A and B are shown apart, each in its own frame.
Chain A
């Protein structure tokens, strides 16, 4: 079965360190997204990609970067982790076109001390 997997599921890091969260999908979807989920804020879009070599900033992109070198992967990098980036991060993918359904991973819980 096709799926979307995130790793690590849990990570604790220190302020100032670089962190990369991995996202891998086997749906063969063109569209991939990164969201962060915080209590009271729902899901906020960080970065997204519509295909290989395409990346775009979302509403809360400061301090984050992504790269898309193949269809399956969209890693999210925190260049210099800050305590404000403590959150649960979700990767999602969609087929695009008329189908707007997002398929989510199980999330990565990041704690920045």
Chain B
């Protein structure tokens, strides 16, 4: 069982829809990262969270430390948002654990 669980594994949406991707983890962490990976492999860091909520453009990330849960929201989705979104948790021992990713396809 992966220490970091993401849902859904695959998500197809129509352009303009509001999208939510969820991430749950099993033990206490020092921080949680949301990453975006495009075809070809390049990974870009979207957010780093240790508490609360962050917003960047159409992207919003939240974390609930007590419930060990984080969500990534995309408002007004666009086909260029199509990518794999990966949740990663950082432990105090500097180890990182990654979820398997959520493959998002936004159709025009």
A and B pair up: no
